[in-house]
Amino acid sequence: MSASFCRPPAEAVEAVVSALGQRFGARCTTSQAVRDQHAHTLTWVAPQPPDAVVFPHSTEEVQEIVRLCAAHRVPVIPYGTGSSLEGQVNAPFGGISIDTREMNRIVAVHAEDLDVVVEPGVTRSTLNSYLRDAGLFFPIDPGFDASFGGMAATRASGTNAVRYGTMKDNVLALKAVLANGEVITTASRAKKSSAGYDLTRLLVGSEGTLGIITELTIRLSGIPEAISAGICPFPSIEAACEATIATIQSGIPVARIELLDEVAVSASNRYSKLDLPVTPMLFLEFHGTKAWVAEQAQRFGEIAAELGGGPFDWATEPERRSKLWQARHDAFWAALALRPGCSGLSGDVCVPISRLADCAAETKRDAAELGLTVSMVGHVGDGNFHALVVIDNDDADEVKRCKTFLKRMVDRAIAMEGTCTGEHGVGQGKMGYIGAELGDGALDAMRAVKRALDPHNILNPGKIFAL
């Protein structure tokens, strides 16, 4: 562990906390409860609270905080809603958590340009409620009501990504405070540009290690004229994956195509009060004009039938649609409810779609072999799936088997030319896998970029890779 990863001296932290207290009053707190809350993670990653939490109101205030911390070499950890899954908001070396919840203004809506400027604390559902009357929406839906700052920082995606892309595709421009306290604007509002290095995409997915995002210009989409959703049972995970591959290859622009294995279906039946047949299932959604969604649904139905799936229940009623998607989004909680008192791990890999059926099936067999409770769900149109493992953290042997399972899952995905994380990011949970996935050359290049932009390693240290 290099010197840059040491906890700063107590005097440095005290100096920063005291100055922040004077400057921000009640908007800076060292209360144990608030600090614990800011290190809360949704998964089995152990919490590591910061030394203090500050709630800035503007880019300039973030600048002040970063400059103060930089002067004392005290870590800065950005915080959105805390829904990240790999320990991204933890403070392994202490430091100041910058909670952006009060930077929650929708700065400007440009309906004609299909874009909006927001502060990082605005959440997805807040924006979509605000936009409804304009006939516009923000399509990315990671399942939680995450903040835009957090979604950009982790390169989030979710159920709609197969049609609308991920955060990398939907952020037009960012404003961010760098480690040196300077504010940068990464791009104009133009839909495309070839003006120099793509700083927008460099920050998207950097998990707060290169800059603190203080404003985002986001692409919007028109609310489709017609939306139809449907569910389709399959005899096996392999058949469901094959149907997904055929659907994508045939060019049907599915808006969502989500897999639930029989464990996830059963858990959802219980948790979300559904009565689905307990077998692998695809949940789908089509967007377009009325005639066009009908054509898409019909074509998918034919593909499913050919691969032994179906009947394809094509439920257009908005109420049933909402209930099904809520159940899909609650799959993590439904899995946890299988073993009350346990914690969860949401394994996240992504492979070329041709390898999806193999990868998912092998992962399932491995879970059975290791005697773990695993529910599987996936954004299968992108080759991305999650193994939701329910763990008794007090059972040392189970924890050990869980670690084995996770490592094998990642190794398997990498061996299949996939990635160690499709959308949850690296954080602390996946540190050490980038080298295995991309080799030392890429890792060294990432480190060189990090050192160039944050030479004292004050921005979210201890995440993504060791320096």
**Residues between 436 and 455 with contacts to a copy of itself, criterion CB under 8 A:** 437-439, 441-446, 448-453
Identity of the amino acid at 76: V
Nearest to 369 by CA among 339, 408, 340, 337: 408
What is the closest distance, in whole angstroms, from the C-beta atom of residue 457 to a copy of itself in the complex? 14
What is the closest distance, in whole angstroms, from the C-beta atom of residue 23 to a copy of itself in the complex? 23
List Cα–Cα distances, 258 to 161, 351, 386, in angstroms: 11, 15, 11
Q: Checking phi first, is residue 273 left (phi over 0); if not, alpha (psi -120 to 50) or beta?
A: left
What is d(CA 310, CA 223) in angstroms, rounded to the nearest whole number? 29
What is the closest distance, in whole angstroms, from the C-beta atom of residue 86 to a copy of itself in the complex? 9
Of 48, 424, 460, 462, the one binding a copy of itself (CB under 8 A) is: 424
What is d(CA 216, CA 370) in angstroms, rounded to the nearest whole number? 44
Residue 324 is a binding residue for a copy of itself (CB under 8 A): no
Neighbouring C-alpha atoms within 13 Å toward the C-beta of 140: 25
**Buried (b) or exposed (e) across 127-163, using 16+ Cβ within 10 A?**
bbebbeeeebbbbbbbbbebbbbbbbbbbbbbbbbbb
What three-state secondary structure class fits 462?
coil
What three-state secondary structure class fits 427?
coil
Q: Checking phi first, is residue 385 left (phi over 0); if not, alpha (psi -120 to 50) or beta?
A: beta
Q: Which is nearer to a copy of itself, 52 or 146 (CB)?
A: 146
Binding residues for a copy of itself restricted to 17-46, rule: CB under 8 A: none
Binding residues for a copy of itself restricted to 159-188, rule: CB under 8 A: 161, 165-166, 168-169, 178, 182-188
* Total binding residues toward a copy of itself, as defined by CB under 8 A: 93
Token code pair at residue 296: 């898409």
Residue 426 is a binding residue for a copy of itself (CB under 8 A): yes
Binding residues for a copy of itself restricted to 95-134, rule: CB under 8 A: 110-115
Q: Which is nearer to a copy of itself, 341 or 441 (CB)?
A: 441
Of 48, 63, 159, 419, the one binding a copy of itself (CB under 8 A) is: 419
Token code pair at residue 61: 């205030």
Q: Which is nearer to a copy of itself, 93 or 433 (CB)?
A: 433
Q: Checking phi first, is residue 364 left (phi over 0); if not, alpha (psi -120 to 50) or beta?
A: alpha
**Buried (b) or exposed (e) across 256-279, using 16+ Cβ within 10 A?**
bbbbbbbbbbbbbbebbebebebb
What is the closest distance, in whole angstroms, from the C-beta atom of residue 169 to a copy of itself in the complex? 7
Q: Which is nearer to a copy of itself, 267 or 293 (CB)?
A: 293
What is d(CA 349, CA 413) in angstroms, rounded to the nearest whole number? 6
Q: Which is nearer to a copy of itself, 368 or 452 (CB)?
A: 452
Q: Which is nearer to a copy of itself, 48 or 247 (CB)?
A: 247
Binding residues for a copy of itself restricted to 333-362, rule: CB under 8 A: 350-354
What is the closest distance, in whole angstroms, from the C-beta atom of residue 224 to a copy of itself in the complex? 7
Which residues contact residue 167 at a Cβ distance below 8 angstroms, ignoring those fewer than 6 apart?
A: 140, 151, 152, 154, 155, 156, 157, 204, 205
Interface map 373-412 toward a copy of itself (x if CB under 8 A): ---------xxx----------------------------
Nearest to 258 by CA among 343, 138, 381, 136: 381
Nearest to 329 by CA among 214, 160, 209: 160
Of 50, 405, 433, 460, the one binding a copy of itself (CB under 8 A) is: 433
What is the closest distance, in whole angstroms, from the C-beta atom of residue 17 to a copy of itself in the complex? 28
Cβ-contact 255, 164 below 8 angstroms:
yes
What is the closest distance, in whole angstroms, from the C-beta atom of residue 92 to a copy of itself in the complex? 18
Of 202, 361, 370, 399, the one binding a copy of itself (CB under 8 A) is: 202
What is the closest distance, in whole angstroms, from the C-beta atom of residue 374 to a copy of itself in the complex? 21
What three-state secondary structure class fits 50?
coil
Residue 218 is a binding residue for a copy of itself (CB under 8 A): no
* Piece of 65-73, 89-97, 195-203, 312-320 that binds a copy of itself (CB under 8 A): 195-203
Residue 249 is a binding residue for a copy of itself (CB under 8 A): yes
Residue 2 is a binding residue for a copy of itself (CB under 8 A): no
Of 81, 157, 373, 375, the one binding a copy of itself (CB under 8 A) is: 157
